[in-house]
Amino acid sequence: MEVTWKIEVLSDVPSNRLGVNGQVAKVTWRIENFSSMKDGKHCSEIFTVDGNNWQLWIYPKGDTVGFLSIYLHFAGSANLASKWTRHAHFRIAVIDRLDRKNSKTRGIASKFEAKKTTWGFRSLLSLTELRKPERGYLLNDVCLIEAYVVTYKTDATVPKEEDINTFFTSLESKFLSSNTNISPKEVKEALADVEKALNMTPVIFSNSGKLSSLTHAFKILASFGGSSTTLTVEQKQKLLAIEKSLKKLADRAAKVSQDKNSLTGKESDNLMVKNKLDRNRIKYKEFESEVEKKLAALRVQVKEAEKKRDNMLAEVKEMEKKMAKYEAEAKNVEKEEKSVEAEWGRIKASISSIKGKI
């Protein structure tokens, strides 16, 4: 287990704000290899606020089963007078290092006495929620705890928890920025994860199951706030856009892989279809050749029939000419016949006339 410990003290806080005495301490406790911590109580270093020594206690497996427990303890309480008291406002937060808006925060105003030197939160965060991979509470097995502590006057009105949180939130910007959230080592590891993913083919990456770790890597890069490497809003937006693009590409690659697998499973069917297609093509060629032969024979027959038709048409026309000539001659004969009969009649009439006169 490796620990990074940082204490910042803000002095001269206006005393009329929740009746504080003047100093506010911010404690940042970064615990690496958190999962290797043993059961039971673990103590932070001692820090001082307004001349009073304090200490954080953490139960990584829970003081109550199923929950992470964190307390504020008045250090050096062994020889306190029986009527000794101190009043303190404090806020403890387990930081979601992927998205600080999801950090688990609790605040309280407490009266510390010789018989009660420890106050805090037995059920601060469920261990199930703490260990969720989509959260950043244990990103890279690092737990980041932040605590704000201030003592206040005994005659001050005890504030509500939301007022305490608002009070400490208003002071956050006054404390120096700290690199304990995302370390340079984690940034290098995140970059290595991104480069490793990009060195894969899209299909291999989509099948690797590393999309979740890649998402964490991008969030680490976007969250890093080193002194000379703080990303601009535009750069962070670009990182998130790249992450979305990679997600879409991974989905498309997964679809391609699925389609290829589907086609591979149909290879035997496709081979049968191909063989049948080849056989049908051969049969078609044979049938096409046979049809061409029959068409060629039919074309010869058609030509002979057309020739015969033409000959018959010529004969018909010739016969029509002869018929026309015959009909013309018949008309002439008929006309001549009628003329002869008429002349015959006149002669006959003349003879009858002469006979009557004799």
Q: Is residue 22 within 8 Å of 121, Cβ to Cβ?
A: no
Calculate the average pLDDT of the chain. Answer: 83
Backbone angles phi, psi at 148, to 5 degrees: -115, 135
Helix ranges restricted to H, 75-150: 127-130
Q: State whether the Cα torsion 330-334-339-340 is positive or negative.
A: positive
Q: For residues 292-320, b (16+ Cβ closer than 10 Å) or e, as one string?
A: eeeeeeeeeeeeeeeeeeeeeeeeeeeee
Domain assignments of the chain as residue spans, ordered by start: 6-179, 186-270
Q: Does the structure show a pLDDT above 90 at 282?
A: yes
Lowest mean pLDDT of 29-38, 163-172, 279-288, name the range. Answer: 163-172
What does the pLDDT average to over 263-292? 86
Q: Which segments within the chain are labelled E, that is strand?
A: 2-10, 20-32, 42-43, 47-49, 52-59, 67-74, 85-94, 104-113, 118-126, 142-152
pLDDT at 212: 66
For 11-68, what is each residue's pLDDT tens digit? Answer: 777 655 666 777 888 999 999 999 999 889 999 999 998 888 999 999 999 887 789 9
pLDDT at 227: 42
Q: Considering the domain 6-179, what is its CATH architecture?
A: Sandwich (2.60)
Looking at residue 61, the DSSP 8-state letter turns out to be T
Q: Which of 9-13, 229-233, 253-257, 351-355 has maximum average pLDDT? A: 351-355
Q: How far is CA 43 from the centre of its chain?
A: 44
Q: State whether the Cα torsion 189-195-201-206 is positive or negative.
A: positive
Query: What CA–CA distance (Å, rounded) separates 311 from 317?
Result: 10
Q: Which of 1-10, 87-96, 196-205 has maximum average pLDDT? A: 87-96
Which strands, in side-by-side order, build the sheet including 142-152? Answer: 2-10, 20-32, 142-152, 85-94, 104-113
For 83-98, what is each residue's pLDDT tens digit? Answer: 889 889 899 999 998 8
Q: How far is CA 63 from the centre of its chain?
A: 41
Tokens 């499973």 — which residue? 265
Percent of the chain with pLDDT over 90: 37
> Could you give the count of Cα atoms lying within 13 Å of 122 in the half-sphere of its Cβ?
4
Q: Is residue 88 within 8 Å of 72, Cβ to Cβ?
A: yes
For 311-323, what is each residue's pLDDT tens digit? Answer: 999 999 999 999 9
pLDDT at 140: 86
Query: What CA–CA distance (Å, rounded) separates 14 from 263?
Result: 73
> How would residue 258 be classed by pLDDT, with cut points 50, 70 and 90?
confident
For 203-224, what is each residue's pLDDT tens digit? Answer: 777 777 666 667 777 777 766 6
What does the pLDDT average to over 253-269? 75
**Residues facing 56 on adjacent strands:** 72
pLDDT at 281: 93
Q: Is residue 114 within 8 Å of 81, Cβ to Cβ?
A: yes
Q: How far is CA 86 from the centre of its chain?
A: 54
What does the pLDDT average to over 175-202? 72
Q: Tokens for 28, please give them.
A: 């940042």
Q: For residues 73-102, b (16+ Cβ closer than 10 Å) or e, as one string?
A: bbbebeebeeeeebbbbbbbbbbbbbeeee
What does the pLDDT average to over 255-268? 75
Q: Is residue 93 within 8 Å of 104, Cβ to Cβ?
A: yes
> Could you give the count of Cα atoms lying within 13 Å of 205 in the half-sphere of its Cβ?
22
Q: Does the structure show a pLDDT above 80 at 305?
A: yes
- Number of alpha helices (DSSP H) and beta strands (DSSP E) in the chain: 7, 10
pLDDT at 228: 42
> How would residue 261 be classed by pLDDT, with cut points 50, 70 and 90?
confident
For 89-133, what is each residue's pLDDT tens digit? Answer: 899 999 998 888 899 999 998 999 999 999 999 999 999 999 998
pLDDT at 190: 77
Residue 6, CA distances (Å) to 46, 97, 337 in order? 11, 17, 153
